[in-house]
Amino acid sequence: MKRIPFITLALAGLAFAVAVLPSAIAGAMEFSREAFSRGEIWRLWTAHLTHFGAAHLRWDMFALLLLGSLA
């Protein structure tokens, strides 16, 4: 019996949710050295969920789903 990759699916869903949020929210999540130096340490983790366009999101989700399913 094959197991369902719930964590992989959850991460892909989170990335998609961030992509449809207003750009101000996604902008607060992307990595910025200046913001990180001001103490916004969450940007180390949330930056992986932000994307710079639909093509970037599609390719990242494809790779995540493929590799996450194999793992």
Cβ pair 12, 65 in contact under 8 A: yes
State if pTM tops 0.75: no
Encode pLDDT of 24-63 as tens digits: 788 888 888 999 999 999 888 888 888 888 898 899 889 9
DSSP, residue by residue, 2-58: PPP-HHHHHHHHHHHHHHHS-HHHHHTTS--HHHHHTT-TTHHHHGGG--SSHHHHH
Residue spans per domain, the chain:
6-70
pLDDT of residue 34: 92
Q: Per-residue pLDDT for 21 more than 90?
A: no
Name the residue with higher pLDDT: 61 or 71. 61
